[in-house]
Amino acid sequence: MKDNELFKFLNDELERQNNSIELIASENFASKEVRELCGSILTNKYAEGFPGKRYYGGCVNIDNIETRAIELVKKLFNANYACVQPHSGTQANMIAYYALLETGDKILSLSLDEGGHLSHGSKVSFSSKYYNVEFYHLNAFGRIDYEGLKKKALEYKPKLILAGFSAYPFEIDYKAIKEIANEVNAYFMVDMAHIAGLIAAKELNNPLKYADIVTSTTHKTLRGPRGGIILTNSEEIIKKVNKACFPALQGGPLENIIAAKAQCFYEALTDSYKEYIRNVKENTLACSNEFTRLGDINSGTENHLFLLNTIDSYKVNGKDAQELLEEIGITVNKNMLPNDKEKPSVTSGIRIGFAALTTRGATKFDAINIADIIHDYLLKNISKEEAKIRVKNIVKNLKKVEEI
């Protein structure tokens, strides 16, 4: 017996995904193998605790699966220790804070409007309620102001300095931040949720060489299921992390999702995945460069995303741009820009990423055409009908989502 109305909604979503151009930088399309494991019989099993130390019987196969996930992610990121149980990136961050900090301790991070994440100290997040958060900033070129970061750290004396962002299009100098952290005797934490796939493919530097603790999601550029992970090279820290994860903050792990995580780590170790990530960077750069050629203001990029200033380029705020583009089958998300004067619910721009569309086989020529469509439509150079036709001409050559 099934709820036919519910499955209709599911089919509607499949149609939407197949017939639209997905440019949300935090989304991707998981493989059939990952999806199969997400919906497997592993969802039936309770397994509180960790491999070899469970509070329930019947976990021998579960232990093998979770151990496999741990070993694969350690190999992927050259880490000594890993926790694969966090249910999401935000929960991974919560666990990391809980493991290393006391309530009221100081965190130094990048603010949401300059590319940080809600869980990095936003006033609407738990992180600002339980910890004292101060922010460092970007320079006039939209890059981290490392001198300013150092000055803030020396003044503020945080217990933890946080790097890794949700809307930062450039490489991060982990060595410089680690040196600052050492100078003020702070932990150095990296949230690599957005760029984990690029790090796995060695297209960006690995923060494990410098960071005390690294958190990530598994569903963005890693192309796995929705979930989180925590990595470290410190035995002392992983013990604290595991205790913070269970029993402090989470109950039974989602072993079906952990199995799917293991599959995505396995896929990320392949040569084909490395080629995929190279294509993601190529497509993102091609799209950004085309906007620049057209005279539109954007951040530029060194990874899988960039920010497009829609207020100054088209006299349209980010919220309206998002809604207008969705009407023609292009999905983006409104996003704050550095020193944004608009509210977070409105914003002055949008965030564009190519991890998802590249999974469907998009090329740099598609990326250039997409920039042209967005430019023409937001400037009202073409009608909605013409824009839809141009979108459809790109989509028809992409892989079907269910076939990935």
Instruction: List the catalytic residue out of 48, 173, 320, 376.
Output: 48
Asked if residue 169 has a cis previous peptide bond (ω within 30° of 0), the answer is: no
Question: In which residue are the tokens 């957005």 written?
Answer: 194
Q: What is the dihedral of CA 32, 38, 39, 44, to 10 degrees?
A: 150
DSSP character at residue 247: I
Residues 34, 264 contacting (CB under 8 angstroms): yes
Q: HSE on the CB side for 188, CA within 13 Å?
A: 22
d(CA 301, CA 288) in angstroms, rounded, equals 7
Give the other-Cβ count within 10 Å of 351's Cβ: 26
- By C-alpha distance, which of 88, 32, 43, 87 is closest to 65? 43
Instruction: List the catalytic residue out of 46, 243, 320, 386.
Output: 46
Q: Cα dihedral sign for 332, 336, 338, 340?
A: positive
Instruction: List the catalytic residue out of 81, 106, 215, 217.
Output: 217
d(CA 174, CA 190) in angstroms, rounded, equals 9
Residues 112, 128 contacting (CB under 8 angstroms): no
d(CA 123, CA 117) in angstroms, rounded, equals 11
Active-site annotation holds for 8? no
Instruction: List the catalytic residue out of 226, 243, 278, 388.
Output: 226
Active-site annotation holds for 217? yes
d(CA 100, CA 103) in angstroms, rounded, equals 10
Instruction: List the catalytic residue out of 159, 220, 334, 390.
Output: 220
Residues 33, 51 contacting (CB under 8 angstroms): no
158's tokens: 């945080």
The CA R_g of the chain, rounded to the nearest whole Å, is: 21
Active-site annotation holds for 46? yes
Q: Where are the beta strands (DSSP E) in 47-174?
A: 49-50, 53-54, 81-83, 106-110, 132-136, 160-163
Instruction: List the catalytic residue out of 22, 66, 191, 366.
Output: 191
d(CA 158, CA 180) in angstroms, rounded, equals 11
Active-site annotation holds for 220? yes
257's tokens: 């999702």
Catalytic residue positions, numbered: 46, 48, 191, 217, 220, 226
